[in-house]
Structure 1
Amino acid sequence: MRNGYSAAQIREAEAPFLERGVPLMIRAAQSLAEHVTSILPAPSESRVLVLAGPGDNGGDAAYAASFIANAGVKVQVVAVSGRLHEAAEAAARDEGAEILLDAPPESAAALVAGADVVLDGVLGIGNGGAAAGGTPALRDPARAFVVAVKEAIASAPDPAPIVIAVDMPSGIDPDDGSVPDPDAVIKAQLTVTFIGVKAGLLLEPAASLSGKVWLEPLGASQGLLRVRPEVSLP
């Protein structure tokens, strides 16, 4: 049985841990970095492109960049909104990651060529979904970056970079799996999701854009033990 939870249920489950100061973002970033480095044939000869938003999802991605860079990988972090999670940005800089705060979308797209992995950390469950009165659709300038990078991946020579989504592909509804702006969603080969699988990852059309979904509980999934899933699939 595959169980999926709403964004609201995940937030409620993680809240006690955050209140106690449990470093869930660092745990998420470490797990992301392990997934990325495990698929690189030679870290010192590899390059990873990170698309990061300014919120917690981008913080996960930027902190992951610090751990990936520490492993000897060349890492470039593109701030799709012109700014990053402050502490995560500092950590990535300290480990030697290249931080691009003012690069235009076409420059980010040019970095796709030759990259081994593209890490999608633009938007997670922060905006909620339609059920919460929000929309997962990206807005400019972030949307322009995602569209440009998506086109670059589609036209990249083989082997194209592997796309790994942070928690979920940016631009999908975490609750019902709808995709309000398909042109601005990058299809992932792997989605590393945290605490609990988001319901939207199990539902079409988002499921077809999420690739293999890998759950990292982060030591906080017990917050969902008495919660009835929004979606249960065989």
Structure 2
Amino acid sequence: MEAFTAAQIRAAEELLLAAGVPLMQRAAAALAREIRLLLPTDRPGRVLLLVGPGNNGGDALFAGAELAAGGTAVTVVSTSDRMHESGRVAAEAAGVRMLSPASPTDAAASVARNCDVVVDGILGTGTSSSPALRGRAREIVAALLPVLADDDAPVVVAVDLPSGVHPDDGSVPDPTVLCADVTVTFGACKTGLLIGPAADYAGRIVVVDIGLGPELDRVARGG
């Protein structure tokens, strides 16, 4: 599998974003599609979104809005004081349930016990300089780890990469990381997902084409 660094992928994204290409919408639609494949077919699915402040959180929110519009029960736990604003608006308009930030740690564990899928949209490649989870995000993940260790635990889907792993060198500075069953990564595989110990947290890797190909090839060649 061909892989690229976070800097290379961001450079390609910036070129397309400057041209008005709707990369987040493409990523969110693909993420929703992959989550939908993991939901039960005999009843409405239940999804918990762990949403950080950046674009990965935005991807998760827009995907959650699409799922909710189709009848899936979607709940959001914010791992930060901020959320992607237009993603939040879209999610709320679609009927996504936003948990109160008063006790997000206990609430996340409680909701996760009754979910089919937990979506890790906490951090993205922009945190490569210091990927370890901190503060509220780390507390929430720590509370979820025992729930996800159960035999009947929900499936964990990572948005682009598991939060807390380094996208380039595969390091995991703090083991408080959700081990994904599926990582839906956008544009191209990140090098760190193929290197231990991060590879052990990535699960099955699904690379989603969002149109980066030509620009990414140009960036990788230094053109």
* Cα RMSD after superposing both structures: 1.5
Query: Secondary structure at the residue paired with 2:35?
Result: helix
**Aligned equivalent of 1:106:** 106
In structure 2, what residue type is equivalent to 1:138? Answer: L
**Aligned equivalent of 2:184:** 192
**Aligned equivalent of 1:30:** 29
Rounded Cα–Cα distance in structure 2 between residues aligned with 1:221 and 1:146: 33
5+ residue gaps, structure 2, are none
TM-score calculated relative to the size of structure 1: 0.90
**Aligned equivalent of 2:203:** 211
Aligned 8 A contact 2:109 2:147 in 1: yes
Rounded Cα–Cα distance in structure 2 between residues aligned with 1:44 and 1:66: 19
**Aligned equivalent of 2:134:** 139
1:115-142, CA deviations, whole angstroms, 9 ceiling, x for partnerless residues?
A: 00000000011112xxxxx110111011
Q: 2:165 aligns with which of 144, 148, 172?
A: 172
Query: Secondary structure at the residue paired with 1:225?
Result: helix
Taking structure 1 as reference, are residues 47 and 176 closer, same or farther at Cα in structure 2, changes over 3 Å only? Answer: same
Rounded Cα–Cα distance in structure 1 between residues aligned with 2:94 and 2:87: 11
In structure 2, what residue type is equivalent to 1:167? Answer: D
Rounded Cα–Cα distance in structure 2 between residues aligned with 1:104 and 1:34: 27
**Superposition deviation, residue 3 in structure 1:** 1.7
Aligned length: 220
Where in structure 1 do 4 or more consecutive aligned residues deviate above 6 Å? none
**Superposition deviation, residue 203 in structure 1:** 0.3
Aligned 8 A contact 1:43 1:71 in 2: no
Query: Secondary structure at the residue paired with 2:40?
Result: coil
Query: Secondary structure at the residue paired with 1:31?
Result: helix
**Aligned equivalent of 1:86:** 85
**Aligned equivalent of 2:124:** 124
**Aligned equivalent of 1:131:** none
- Alignment identity in percent? 47
TM-score calculated relative to the size of structure 2: 0.94
**Superposition deviation, residue 146 in structure 1:** 1.2
Which has the larger displacement, 196-205 or 12-21? 12-21
Rounded Cα–Cα distance in structure 2 between residues aligned with 1:80 and 1:119: 12
5+ residue gaps, structure 1, are 129-133, 230-234
In structure 2, what residue type is equivalent to 1:55? Answer: G
1:141-197, CA deviations, whole angstroms, 9 ceiling, x for partnerless residues?
A: 11111111122211x3x4210000000000000000000001x10000100001111
Which has the larger displacement, 92-101 or 167-176? 92-101
Rounded Cα–Cα distance in structure 2 between residues aligned with 1:4 and 1:91: 32
**Superposition deviation, residue 82 in structure 1:** 3.1
Which has the larger displacement, 43-52 or 18-27? 43-52
**Aligned equivalent of 1:163:** 156
**Superposition deviation, residue 13 in structure 1:** 1.0
